[in-house]
A and B are shown apart, each in its own frame.
Chain A
Amino acid sequence: MPAAVDTRIEIVTPENIAFQYRVAGPFRRLPAYLIDVLIRIAVVVASAVIFSLAFGLVGLPGGGFGMALIGWFLLDWFYGGLFEAFWNGQTPGKRLMRLRVVSDEGQPINGLQAVLRNLLRSVDAVPLVPVGTDPVVFPVPTYLLGLLASTMNDRFQRLGDLAAGTMVVVEEPQRHYGVARVNEPEAIRLAAELPAGFQVSRPLARALSSYVQRRQIFPWRRRAEIAMHVGEPLRIRFGLPAGTSHDLLLCALYHRTFIADRADEADGKSPFDPAHVRAVARSDAAGEVVSR
């Protein structure tokens, strides 16, 4: 496979299967980080109140405040590390944003990697910008160094990731799969007219399914423009009359290749059982792709 310009990283599993991860970029990770920050603030405030009350009842209000400070310290430095170690590479923020930390080789991370990448966060966070007036000044992290580091490798690894040998990947559950339905009766009629002996090569099959699965989002003028490049040579090859819609021709070929085997099936009857028809009704507005 040629070096891809997109954000996919290929992993080879112990089963010797190669699958791909999508690496998460800064704009995906920022919301997750902010969620974690908010959770941390909430927990610190809540623990300060609870500990102060609890210790105050025993007559040691100072102890409660001290406990809260220790909690603050632990959350500051070990929140991410502990969550990622025990939650298989996720913090609450990452889980909400469907991110996961995995090692360079795509294996799940161990506790050491999880703690290390979060301890080194403070280097990635520089420069800190002080916000507020003199008595209360919060150093707000800008993460410019981490941003710089992550633009310099193809896995968006900040310095902490580089040292721990980890990367952050997107775990996006994909809801849609299956074959697209061809609704046009003309296309199904046309499919019956195609020469029976024509074998669709693999690249052509890929191109066909890419096209048919996306054609619904294009207006017909665009469809004609896109379909022309493959459609015209095919029309000439099949000896179809000039003026045949290229769009329909591709749909017909797709239908014959992926859905209907024999010409006698090409009577417009859906090849799907009722369960899938129901599934289609539930799927999104395009309604074209069979969903689970």
Chain B
Amino acid sequence: MKVAELLDARRENWRELERACTQMESRFSRLNAENVERFAALYRSACADLALADAYQLPPNSVQYLHQLVARGHNQLYPSRSFMLAQWWDEMFYVLPQRLFRDNCLRLAFAVFWGIFLASMVCAYNSPKFTENLVGKDMMRTMEEMYEQPAISRDPNLGGVMAGFYVKHNAGIGLQCFAAGLIFGVGGLLITISNASILGAVFGHMATMPQRGNFFQFVTAHGPFELTAVVLASAAGMRLGFSIIHTRGYSRAASLKLAARDAMPTACASVVLFCLAAVIEAFISPSSLPYAVKAFVAVFSSALLLFYFVMLGYPRGEDDATG
């Protein structure tokens, strides 16, 4: 058969496949069962044409056309699986705590963050000079002025704005910390150290000031969620970064891919915690509720975190896993 005749014979099939692809690509129309079957048959025949293109001596532009036609059909036949809710539930509440419980990166991030936070706090408590060198005079003054008045006196209407602001600002920092971890783990470590030392210094410094009452009124309630979220984000970032260095026998790219699969849910958990913290920070922390309530919120959220990390995370035996 001559090529021209062959092309004539196939043209109708190819065009029909193209039409089917166009229809499937638009989100608004769906193929019915009969057409889906027809689509599969057309796709297979286009695949066969492509496989035999060389034997048929098809001209190069027709081969190229077939390449893109098959690619297009392939994309419709094997579409992306979107999020499966049940699977994510399982991942977040069953797999993730188990993994975090024995995650060395989380231990490191935890130790680095809290170690430096406490050290910085002690230094700042004892010497204002330390705080001044670390965070600068401007920020010290801003902080002091900010807590001049009790937070209660803020415009209650501000709560909504602040919730949005805290989500955007804090979760943004957390995600940046996660992403920066990719730079050999050092990027995330640096951001963690800088966050921990500045936060510690502010805490230590404010504890020496007359405004400390207002300050602790404000930070108590959302502290547990927010600080845990920071640690989680940097742990997830370090997992990415260290996987490039310590490859466990994989190629660096493959090791990074595997680690990314593990680190993603951790980063998501951190975003969720940031959002929870933002809501508390915007609506409970500056409210006129008595300090006892705010302290209770802090204790309660710490208990939730403990439940998540220890109760859900404690290594289970094999028989537990099935039951």
The answer to whether A and B assemble together is yes
A interface residues, Cβ below 8 angstroms from B = 11, 13-15, 17, 19-21, 55, 60-70, 72-73, 76-77, 84-89, 100, 102, 106-112, 114-116, 119-123, 159, 162-165, 169, 171-174, 176-180, 200, 202, 205-206, 209-210, 213, 257-261, 271-273, 276, 289, 292
Q: In the bound complex, do residue A69 and residue B165 qualify as a contact, i.e. CB atoms below 8 Å apart?
A: yes
Chain B interface residue count, Cβ-Cβ cutoff 8 angstroms:
68
Q: How far is the CA of A65 from the CA of B92 in the complex (A)?
A: 31
* Stretch from B169-177, B197-205, B286-294 contacting the other chain: B169-177
Q: How far is the CB of A110 from chain B (nearest CB, A)?
A: 5
Report chain A residues within 8 Å CB of B256: 162-163
Q: Which residue of B lies closest to A175 (CB)?
A: B65
Q: In the bound complex, do residue B168 and residue A112 qualify as a contact, i.e. CB atoms below 8 Å apart?
A: no
B80 CB contact (under 8 Å) in A88, A120, A292 = A88
Per CB-CB distance, the 7 closest pairs between chain A and chain B, nearest first, are A69-B164, A63-B160, A66-B164, A66-B160, A177-B65, A209-B59, A73-B168
Q: How far is the CB of B243 from chain A (nearest CB, A)?
A: 9
Query: What would be 11 A-B contacts, judged by CB atoms less than 8 Å apart?
Result: A15-B44, A73-B168, A85-B80, A107-B78, A108-B80, A109-B80, A111-B83, A116-B264, A119-B175, A123-B183, A163-B260
With A13-B74, A86-B82 in contact, do A164 and B164 touch (Cβ < 8 Å)? no
With A55-B160, A289-B61 in contact, do A116 and B50 touch (Cβ < 8 Å)? no
Q: How far is the CA of A65 from the CA of B162 in the complex (A)?
A: 9
Instruction: Tell me if B107 is interfacial: C-beta within 8 Å of chain A.
Output: no
Q: How far is the CB of A271 from chain B (nearest CB, A)?
A: 5
Q: In the bound complex, do residue A89 and residue B80 qualify as a contact, i.e. CB atoms below 8 Å apart?
A: yes
With A62-B158, A63-B160, A213-B61 in contact, do A69 and B44 touch (Cβ < 8 Å)? no
Instruction: Tell me if B20 is interfacial: C-beta within 8 Å of chain A.
Output: no
Q: Which residue of B lies closest to A106 (CB)?
A: B74
Query: How would you classify the secondary structure of chain B's contact residues: helix, strand, loop or mixed?
Result: helix
Q: In the bound complex, do residue A13 and residue B62 qualify as a contact, i.e. CB atoms below 8 Å apart?
A: no
Q: How far is the CA of A178 from the CA of B12 in the complex (A)?
A: 13
With A62-B160, A205-B57 in contact, do A119 and B75 touch (Cβ < 8 Å)? no
With A17-B51, A177-B62, A202-B57 in contact, do A68 and B179 touch (Cβ < 8 Å)? no
Q: How far is the CB of A192 from chain B (nearest CB, A)?
A: 16
Report chain A residues within 8 Å CB of B66: 19, 177
Q: In the bound complex, do residue B257 and residue A164 qualify as a contact, i.e. CB atoms below 8 Å apart?
A: yes
Q: How far is the CA of A261 from the CA of B6 in the complex (A)?
A: 13
Q: In the bound complex, do residue A172 and residue B68 qualify as a contact, i.e. CB atoms below 8 Å apart?
A: yes
Report chain A residues within 8 Å CB of B260: 116, 163-165
B75 CB contact (under 8 Å) in A70, A108, A115, A120 = A108
Over the window 239-280 of chain B, the binary record of Cβ atoms lying under 8 Å from chain A Cβ atoms (1 yes, 0 no) is 010000000000001001101110010011000000000000
Q: How far is the CA of A185 from the CA of B253 in the complex (A)?
A: 59
| Of A85, A163, A174, most B-chain CB atoms within 10 Å | A163
Q: How far is the CA of A135 from the CA of B221 in the complex (A)?
A: 31
| Of A89, A178, A259, A276, most B-chain CB atoms within 10 Å | A178
Q: Which residue of A lies closest to B49 (CB)?
A: A17
Report chain A residues within 8 Å CB of B178: 119
Q: In the bound complex, do residue A73 and residue B82 qualify as a contact, i.e. CB atoms below 8 Å apart?
A: no
Q: Which residue of A lies closest to B268 (CB)?
A: A115
Q: In the bound complex, do residue B75 and residue A65 qualify as a contact, i.e. CB atoms below 8 Å apart?
A: no
A206 CB contact (under 8 Å) in B60, B74, B240 = B60
